[in-house]
A and B are shown apart, each in its own frame.
Chain A
């Protein structure tokens, strides 16, 4: 092929253009640590990164949801533990209120039961981050309202919440609600914390009954009616505590699975988006060498011409 005056400079310019472009791209990869920045760098990898980033964001949100539910579950557990302590003391009073006790002693027990009922109502009306814990979705309403007579005895405890729960998504298609509703007498839906017709639990009503029987000195009724009813209430509370434990375990398990998946996603995104630094640096060095070689070789050749030999 005939080589002209412009041939080599043109070839050099073209090669330098290609090499500069490659150098620039490799330099960006080294500087950012990323193999791809925009979709046109590698469309299929970008698609995978976008999908995985989306999944990672959703998973991160699920982890936040789990954290919120764990807080709620912990708060619920505190309430249940408090109610269980009251239930234990009520059980002791039921045992102590036998035929050997004088009416005065029974009156004193009745006063203590009245106080315990009021304490239980106060505990059950605990507020969490999102309002009242046990009023269902009526979180701005205290779940239990207390009625007292002129002597300070409890005449009734009314449930003011509803039986709706606010489930939160903790994984794709997996929803949970951390706090039970305060009471459920509908026979269906979520279990009530202290009252549920399906288990016969009605902690406040049974404590009020005990209070009234103590006031009346009716120990027979306490043994025959209140003792089994309150025992069932305690069983119900134990069930609720166990359910809370199960819920927390489930949350921990889902959280752990989520963390593992996030780690895996991070690795996969890194595989698609990150540059292999060693490989990139080697290629950068190769390209730089080729750039210098192109410059040197052309400069050497262009320096020689027939003009050097003509006088």
Chain B
């Protein structure tokens, strides 16, 4: 039997237990709006029992631990989905920029000539061939010749600008890779430091989990997963080892290696381990998304524009060089350059439109043979362009990119739903409910009040006993 002093001890421990409960509920309430926080709860267990002649007697309750309510499965799923989201978002950003770089936009409210207009290269390609058509009606006209040259310059400029913007985008994506690698290194450092703190805190608390530090570390791991896919392995001391593409980068409280970009040739930045120099091939996260977008869709886009411009230069020059100008000269190229980056119009022609070679016979001012052939290029399928005309090929390039971006937008919409549902599930498990915590507060408050009443009752009883001998 406990006796009055034992009961007093019991009540005293109960007060501490309820205080602990109040403290945890308050901590939960304080973190109700903290998105990385997982709710905690006190685990109360009955104290050691005492055998008595009347049976086993309880001695109250103790707090055995404060536990964190979180699902490792959901954490792992969210971590993986963070990588997928990062991958698609990086691609979306890249493709949206590429679409802007092409500048192809339908404008039905603009200064429409007949049925509206499409701003961009498509318009310029049509304009060039139409200017050749117009020239066939008046081959000796200097103003028509000037129009052809102006239109060609406009087209060349648009090719130059589009590829220049794509080159700038590529440079921007490389910079983004470098920034992502630096951010990942910072997070690896944070995780190692938190590993150190967690293992120390848990050692000092006799194995109890360092909940808040674990929340923080999980947040860092998820942030890292957005950048690059990571594999984690929890160690017995509470630390988490982090590997990327098989390379162990964080072991316990040590950062074994970091990420660094390297030039794989031609300004193509890739990722490797900084010290070991091991090339890494991440499969998800924004780093993988950026590399994929840059080296596949955007590289193809740039090459396609170069091929289109190269074919245009070659076909137009082949016809133009065989023609004769108004001054009788022949053999001059119409376009200069070799691709979309450097395409330009022969400066000699720009300076003197008479030198445009559109007659197939010297000395025939009204001969439009070459202009007609140049105009007819508009509708001729080109083998080098997949048997498509110049405009058809460009339309395919534009809509191909549009299709890719639309598909990525769809993936992101799906991804937002998946990530949202997982986050909602995690909230449901780990989130703080204010109502729940307030109810707990009331519960602990009442239990505290009851325990306090036990103390005063025991005190009164002791006083009664003490006063018995008077």
Contacts and interface: CB of A to CB of B under 8 A. Distances in A.
Interface stretch (A35-43, A99-107, A233-241, A279-287): A35-43
Contact of B140 (A54, A130, A262): A130
Contacts of A122: none
B133 A65 contact: yes
B148 interface: no
A166 B109 contact: no
B126 interface: yes
Contacts of A68: 137-138
B424 to A, nearest CB: 7
B106 A40 contact: no
Interface centre among A4, A34, A162, A266 (most CB of B within 10 A): A4
A80 B130 CA distance: 31
Which residue, A2, A6, A135, has most C-beta atoms of chain B within 10 A? A6
Contacts of B366: 130-131, 135-140, 166
B435 to A, nearest CB: 4
Interface size class of chain B, counting residues whose CB lies under 8 Å from the partner chain: 35 or more
Contacts of A49: 106, 118
B384 interface: no
Interface string B231-265: 00000000000000000000000000000000000
A64 B399 contact: no
A260 interface: no
B399 A305 contact: no
Interface in B100-129: 104-106, 108-109, 113-118, 122-123, 126-127, 129
Nearest to B441: A310
B137 A69 contact: yes
Interface in B125-180: 126-127, 129-130, 133-134, 136-141
Nearest to B103: A38
Interface stretch (A89-97, A167-175, A190-198, A215-223): A167-175
B427 A10 contact: yes
A164 B368 CA distance: 10
A276 to B, nearest CB: 14
B64 interface: no
Given A32-B109, A172-B379, A310-B438, A58 B130 contact: yes
B46 interface: no
A46 B137 CA distance: 32
Interface in A16-44: 32-34, 36-44
A2 B399 contact: no
Nearest to B429: A2
B399 A6 contact: no
Interface of A: 1-7, 10-11, 14, 32-34, 36-44, 46-47, 49-54, 56-62, 64-65, 68-69, 129-131, 135-140, 162, 164, 166-169, 172, 175, 262, 265-266, 269-270, 273-274, 305-307, 310
